[in-house]
Amino acid sequence: MGLNKPEQELKRDLQGIASDLKWSAVELMRIAERLSQAGNEADAQAVLKMCAVFNAAEDKLAVLVQDVNEERIVRAKASG
């Protein structure tokens, strides 16, 4: 049937958030590496844990995007 405009916007929003999480995790990995090189292993490990949380959230968003694509999640058209 195809996605309506609100569903397309939802899909785009979810993909955008996932992209932001991926970018943030990449930047945090760089920070963790610098922390580790500076001898601050405890903070480096804390930042790596944050990366793992971001990666898990990104995976969940990918599932939601697939659910929108397959119309298991439907956003109603705005009444006007």
- Residue 78 in any domain: the answer is no
Give the chain's domain count.
1
- Residue 79 in any domain: the answer is no
pLDDT of residue 76: 77
- Residue 39 in any domain: the answer is yes
- Residue 80 in any domain: the answer is no
- Residue 60 in any domain: the answer is yes
pLDDT of residue 35: 98
pLDDT of residue 29: 98
Burial zone of 70 (CB within 10 Å; 0-12 exposed, 13-18 middle, 19+ buried)? exposed
- Residue 33 in any domain: the answer is yes
- 47 lies in which domain range? 5-68
H helices of 1-80, in order, are 5-37, 41-69
- Residue 42 in any domain: the answer is yes
pLDDT per residue as tens digits for the range 3-58: 899 999 999 999 999 999 999 999 999 999 999 999 999 999 999 999 999 999 99
Q: What is the pTM of this model?
A: 0.83
DSSP letter at 71 equals T
Lookup: tokens for 57: 């959230």
With beta carbons less than 8 A apart as the criterion, state whether 51 and 25 touch: yes
